[in-house]
């Protein structure tokens, strides 16, 4: 599936890209998953796009400020992808991790916040090509 292809008026999914390494953390995370888990996450990402970045629980939850988390559970694995909606109808995926505790780890939230601030400083800090 191509997630950044958008018809006029549609939202599109884009990925945060690191300045220094050109790494795209969420894409790397998804790419390292088993096929079935990857498929489910991509399905949820498409659902997020179709709903213009606005999903309620159990699919999404507010974390802090503009940052929300997409919640994808697969068997005992609880995948979380931090994102926010940005100008130009872009839903930017900031950071992803496997949740292993009841409470979202502060270190994971801080990683997403750092990436969020990078996007605000430099609007080219996200990758539009899939």
What is the residue range of 76's domain?
Answer: 12-127
pLDDT of residue 127: 59
Domain membership of residue 49 (yes or no) is yes
Domain membership of residue 5 (yes or no) is no
Domain membership of residue 52 (yes or no) is yes
pLDDT of residue 21: 85
Domain membership of residue 82 (yes or no) is yes
Residue owning tokens 């994102």: 83
Domain count, the chain: 1
Domain membership of residue 7 (yes or no) is no
DSSP-assigned letters across all residues of the chain = --SS---TT--EEEEE--TTT---HHHHHHHTS-HHHHHHHHHHHHHHHHTTT---TTTEEEEETTEEEEEEEETTEEEEEEEEEETTTEEEEEEEEEE-SSSPPHHHHHHHHHHHHHHHH-TT-EE---
Length of the chain: 130
Q: What is the pLDDT of residues 66-96, one digit of tens each?
A: 999 999 999 999 999 999 998 889 999 999 9
Domain membership of residue 30 (yes or no) is yes
Residue 20, domain CATH: 3.30.2310.20
Q: Which residues in the chain come in under a pLDDT of 50?
A: 1-8, 129-130
Domain membership of residue 2 (yes or no) is no
pLDDT of residue 9: 60
Q: CB–CB of 4/14 below 8 Å?
A: yes
pTM over 0.85: yes
């Amino acid at each position: 599936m191509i997630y950044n292809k958008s018809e006029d008026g549609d939202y599109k999914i884009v990925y945060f890209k690191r300045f220094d390494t050109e790494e795209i953390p969420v894409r790397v995370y998804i790419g390292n998953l088993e096929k079935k888990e990857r498929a489910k996450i991509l399905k949820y990402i498409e659902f997020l796009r179709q709903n213009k970045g606005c999903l309620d629980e159990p699919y999404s939850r507010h974390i802090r400020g503009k940052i929300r988390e997409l919640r994808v559970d697969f068997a005992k694995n609880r995948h979380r992808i931090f994102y926010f909606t940005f100008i130009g109808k872009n839903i930017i995926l900031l950071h992803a991790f496997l949740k292993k505790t009841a409470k979202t780890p502060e270190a994971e939230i801080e990683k997403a916040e750092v990436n969020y601030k990078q996007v605000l400083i430099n609007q080219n800090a996200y990758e539009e090509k899939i």
